[in-house]
Chains A and B, each alone.
Chain A
Amino acid sequence: MASVTYDHVVKRYTADLTVVKDFNVEIKDKEFMVLVGPSGCGKSTALRMLAGLEAITEGQIRIGDRVVNNVAAKDRDIAMVFQSYALYPHMSVYDNMAFPLQMAHMPKTEIDKRVKNASRILGLDNFLKRKPRALSGGQRQRVALGRAIVRSPKVFLLDEPLSNLDAKLRGQTRIELQKLHRDLETTFIYVTHDQVEAMTMGDRIAIMNAGILQQVGTPGDIYDHPANLFVAGFIGSPTMNFVPVTTSDSTAKASGFEVKLPKSVPAGKATLGFRPETLTDRTSDQLASIDMSVDVVERLGSDQFLYGQVGSDSVTARVDPKMKVEPGDKVKLGLDTRSLHLFDAETELAQF
């Protein structure tokens, strides 16, 4: 059990190829931290530097108070679960889980105790003698977790562990992982490109793009107060609506509507952001009203998504499933102005 600190960490392969730029984040003891971002954003590299699989070009990584830059992977007291599981195919499930303990020259009885304990937690008791090839994807995934658990490491590293599972199993495993985190009371660092996994599992989320850390915060915090345009667009599904506007004092004028902003801003160009669920089929005095011509309607039972045009801008709305709309209709929607976001046209930083 330990905290993990990235202190001005840089990973540079060649002079013009820097994949992680000045990365600073502190992961608290027993925290479930999710590193999320599109593929190639440097999140896996950041994790692999912590694991000891990649050298750190600049800066420091600390586990607890210990600087681990020059500590071998095996001595960092971490365990890692790979996306591909990386099970040893010629060894039984039992031997796969016992392998790291054998490497640590642990007595046989202790190894047996730990492997049995892990297999009980993960429900692998009936599979201990099987080879990985005789297991399903979900079972293999649990063996990979088991191999990490037996070592009782200070920090668990998980590199997209769910991306090879089918959708249903992924949902289940997500819940199991959260339970596991609670039971083990250990620091988890979880890398994923899936914002749903990040939102549902993380105590806190760190969002990366192009090697740069964009924002760190709780899922709710990031959803409600994205720091910039990238974060706002990356988190949430369907994505936030972005509409170019011209601001003057506290009004923003788009191609198809005009809204009153919660506070005054300098005049000029900006991007207005609002989530699909801030649009409703009701109109009232508190809500700005906008006219939308609907192109596509998606009914999901619990939700109804409308895709259409407001003025010359594309907008998505998430409305009550009972609302009667057909493609081609023109509808009047209410926009809750309390949950508007405004992004600077140049820097893309959120003004609110």
Chain B
Amino acid sequence: MSVATAGRLESTAAAWSLPWLAQRLQRSLLHIAVIGLTLVWIIPTLGLLASSFRPAAQIITTGWWTALSPPLQFTIQNYQDMLNQSNMGTAIFNSFMVSIPSTVIPVTIAAFAAFAFAWMKFPFRDWIFLAFVGLLAVPLQLTFVPVLTFFVAHGIVPDNLTSIGLPPWVGLWLAHAGYGLPFSTYLLANFFRQLPSDLFESAEIDGAGTLTVFFRIVLPLSVPALASLIIFQFLWVWNDLLVALIYVGGSADVAPLTVNLANLTNSLGQGYELLTAAAFFSMVVPLAVFLSLQRYFVRGILAGSVKG
């Protein structure tokens, strides 16, 4: 696998010849497109970052780019205020309490299910898998009423959950797990299926049971797929506003960052400086998750296992 060289068109044509120019042009266009896209994303982010560190008085009077030229006047006041006011500290905590279980639960279940779908034999396996993946086509909004009715009928609502000693987010966890499972299972099953069958047969002869095969062979080899899945699911849950609002509501003690930010925008039309700080913070976490997991996107993890 030549990942290192992929996407690199080494010019073999003589300098200044027509093919050489065409190749140059093609590469330049590609670079321009990539750089352009990057700028479109980075400039507003940079604006947000700069604004979040500017004194409130300056934010409302001048543009954020003026902060980049001397005299430099940055402050962390906004972040301090943000964490102290408007329940932001609680909201951040809530966001983690929502996102982590809502990622771990579906990914764990999906990994087991995907292994069964990919490598175990049971009746109607392919039909069940098809039905399962078909759930991807169900619009999220369609499920709100029936699921919420079910949750209310069975007491899976924040107030009731806290009164029996459970975290108020259990319903939300279950909902996110449900929404995430079809895609997660589909992705992992496809990945598991591509593992060479010789490995499983070899392990079978070596005396490994199904669980041993799963934990000692399948999971270690699936790290890239698991990492990307965790990133997807975490980002989706972290950035989700709608599902959280539906299942736990907007009360400050349970609402995650997104819900709280939306409330802030409504109530604090004047608190622009707090908003920028909060918004930037809500972006930093997914970014950190992404950057810390992306090194597991190791291509060629199977190299050296089987040949031919």
A80 to chain B: which residues have CB within 8 Å? Answer: 201-202, 205
CA distance A163 to B306 in the complex (A): 13
A116 in the interface, Cβ–Cβ < 8 Å? no
Interface string of B188-224 (1 = CB under 8 A from A): 0000000010110111111110001000010011000
Residue from B207, B220, B306 within 8 A of A86 (CB atoms): B306
User: How many angstroms between the C-alpha atoms of A87 and B196 in the bound complex?
Assistant: 10
A104 contacts partner chain B, Cβ-Cβ < 8 Å: yes
Interface residue A263 (Cβ < 8 Å from any Cβ of B): no
Q: What size tier do the contact residues of chain B reach? A: 20 to 34
Complex CA distance for A88 and B213, rounded to whole angstroms: 11
User: A74 to B303, Cβ gap below 8 A?
Assistant: no
Are the C-beta atoms of B205 and A74 separated by less than 8 Å?
yes
Could you give, for residues 79-122 of chain A, a 1 whenever the CB lies within 8 Å of some chain B CB and a 0 otherwise? 11011111111100000000110011000000000000000000
Q: Give the nearest-CB partner of B308 in chain A.
A: A164
CB within 8 Å of B: which A96-153 residues:
99-100, 103-104, 131-135, 137, 140, 147
Instruction: Verify if B17 is at the interface (C-beta below 8 Å from A).
Output: no
Could you say which residues of chain A place their CB within 8 Å of the CB of B206? Answer: 74, 99-100, 103, 147
Q: Which residues of B contact A82 (CB under 8 A)?
A: 198, 201-202, 306
Contacts of A83 in B (CB 8 A): 198, 308
- Asked if B128 is at the interface (CB within 8 A of a chain A CB), the reply is no
**Which residues of the partner chain B approach A104 to less than 8 Å between Cβ atoms?**
207
Bound complex: CA of A88 vs CA of B219, how far in Å?
12
Q: How far is the CA of A133 from the CA of B303 in the complex (A)?
A: 5
Residues of B within 8 A of A103 (CB): 206-208, 212
A86 near B199 with CB under 8 A, answer yes
Interface membership of B12, Cβ < 8 A? no
B251 at the interface (CB under 8 A from A): no
Q: Is the CB of B302 closer than 8 A to any CB of chain A?
A: yes
- Residue on B nearest A141 in the bound complex, by CB: B307
Specify which chain A residues have a CB less than 8 angstroms from the CB of B221 in the assembled complex: 89-90
Residue of B nearest to A80 (CB): B205
> Assuming the A-B contacts A52-B205, A78-B205, are A86 and B308 also in contact, with contact meaning beta carbons closer than 8 angstroms in the complex?
no
Task: Mark A residues whose CB is within 8 Å of B.
Answer: 51-53, 73-74, 78-80, 82-90, 99-100, 103-104, 131-135, 137, 140, 147, 163-164
Nearest 4 A/B pairs, CB to CB: A133-B304, A132-B304, A84-B306, A89-B305
| A-B contacts, 28 listed (Cβ < 8 Å) | A51-B201, A74-B206, A74-B207, A80-B205, A82-B202, A83-B198, A83-B308, A84-B305, A84-B306, A84-B307, A84-B308, A85-B306, A87-B306, A88-B202, A88-B217, A89-B221, A89-B302, A89-B303, A100-B205, A103-B212, A104-B207, A132-B303, A133-B303, A133-B304, A134-B304, A135-B304, A147-B206, A164-B307
B residues near A, CB below 8 A? 196, 198-199, 201-208, 212, 217, 220-221, 300-308
